[in-house]
Chain A
């Protein structure tokens, strides 16, 4: 059974560029979560979806960040324009109800 799939695994970009992170949740899961992890701030929830509908985006840092879930098997997190302070590891996780979240391997983003 495939787990949560994220791409790319590593992304290096220059300040001001648009960055798109991708996530494929586990089939049958109805919740999808986007997190950011840094040494300074730890693990932060950015946004989560239920049945493709955004439920809580209070963790999205600012308007430069946006997330979409066009269907049950795909979600994107976009940063436009990117800044050096966005450098972090971004995780996607999915769950079936509240039965526990399953995390992807993460995307390590470096903004120069």
Chain B
């Protein structure tokens, strides 16, 4: 079964600083990987996704993520954080084989605080 670990519950960065949010997954093959962002009182918004090909994936709002098979990781990065990036971020993994269903397994989330 798939599992996702986001080791950091909270992260605080200064506005303008770089950001990296960690995500490790467990899956028997190469999974589908996603990052979502949730602002307070809002639904989850899809930031980016990895299916295959180039391991560096570009997303919306200036975010990118890199798939590293050897480390079973899919870390989210942004070179310069804006105050509006303060939110909760979720990493998720999905199965490639439809016989395992089309469910996503979500990490517990990382709350990002941005200080000015």
Contacts and interface: CB of A to CB of B under 8 A. Distances in A.
Are the chains A and B members of one assembly? yes
Interface string A76-112: 0000000000000001010101111111111000000
A68 to B, nearest CB: 19
Contacts, number: 47
B35 to A, nearest CB: 10
Contacts of A103: 36, 43-46
Interface size class of B (residues with CB under 8 A): 20 to 34
Interface string A30-74: 010000000000110100101000011000000000000000000
Interface of B: 32, 34, 36, 42-46, 49, 90, 94-96, 98, 101-104, 106, 108-109
Interface of A: 4, 31, 42-43, 45, 48, 50, 55-56, 91, 93, 95, 97-106
